[in-house]
Amino acid sequence: MKIGDLRHRITFQKKITTVNENGFEVETMEDVKTVWAYVSHLHGREFYQAAQVQAEHTVKFTIRYIPKLDPSMEILFRDKRYNIIAIDNIKYRNKWVEIRAQEVVQSG
């Protein structure tokens, strides 16, 4: 992977719970970190494996290593929200991280 391949901006977000002025708990999303990423759709064997579980909106993000990534976080990319399915610290070298994420489809 060349550093020039990282040409998309993605933002990691986490849910936080706050109390509004009426005393009710409200979940909101808080930005954790914005990074450069290589973004690609699944293809080949990965695509067919994802299709078996109907994960047709699955995307692969490759970023430089950042500590404390958590599968409970979400990714915001081009005004779409993605749930993290898997985080792979490639060869455990703390250089590159590959993230598989599924688009959150709004119902209604």
Mean pLDDT, the chain, whole residue set: 87
- CATH number, domain at 9? 2.40.10.270
Of 2 and 16, the one with more pLDDT: 16
* pLDDT, average across residues 65-78: 95
Helices (H), 1-108: 45-52
Q: Could you give the CA distance from residue 59 to residue 46 in angstroms, rounded to a whole number?
A: 10
What are 37-62's pLDDT values in tens digits?
Answer: 999 986 555 555 555 555 468 999 99
Prediction pTM value: 0.81
Report if residue 80 sits inside a domain: yes
Q: Which residues form the domain of 67?
A: 3-103
Residues 79, 18 contacting (CB under 8 angstroms): no
Rounded to the nearest 5°, which phi and psi values hold at 93? -95, -5
Q: Which amino acid would we find at residue 26? A: V
Q: What is the mean pLDDT of residues 7-25?
A: 94
Number of structural domains found in the chain:
1
